[in-house]
Amino acid sequence: MKVRKLNEGFPIDLLLLADPSQKMIEEYLNRGECYVAEKKKEIIGVYVLLSTRPATVELVNIAVSKCEQGKGIGKQLIMDAVQRSKEKGYKTIEVGTGNSSIGQLALYQKCGFRLTSIDQDYFIRNYENQIFENGIWCRDMIRLTRELDE
């Protein structure tokens, strides 16, 4: 698997797996950096990094194509994002995920992220349609942080 930066032709269908709002995706793509994972020249994963504050970057979207899920690619993408963020001089990387995203919450913690806060009703305020995942109404944004000097 090879990971490279992408400046155009973003894989919107893949990004929509992690964020159902194309409008939100387009907004952070305009301000962030998009990286894709390829296998045999086919894009199988994507993530977007967005500088949010001095010395802080946020992983605002990460997705793996459905046929490639469960193979450790998500973890590899997170660790690639961590490494690139360190190389760019960031001190902290943050990520937010829905309260219903059980697998993602576990994965981020396995990758060294710690729970830091809850933005209650984030998805109610920022998305037109209700989101359900794992039989749970996704209402709150769970924020996680990893210090990059660890």
Q: Where are the domains of the chain?
A: 2-147
> pTM of the predicted model, to two decimals?
0.92
Q: Quick one: which of 47, 123, 132, 59 has its CA closest to 90?
A: 59
- Position 3: which residue type? V
Contact 120, 139 (CB under 8 A): yes
The CA distance from 45 to 125, in Å, is: 28
- The architecture of the domain spanning 2-147 is 3-Layer(aba) Sandwich (3.40)
The 10s digit of each residue's pLDDT in 100-110 is 999 999 999 99
The 10s digit of each residue's pLDDT in 7-45 is 999 999 999 999 999 999 999 999 999 999 999 999 999
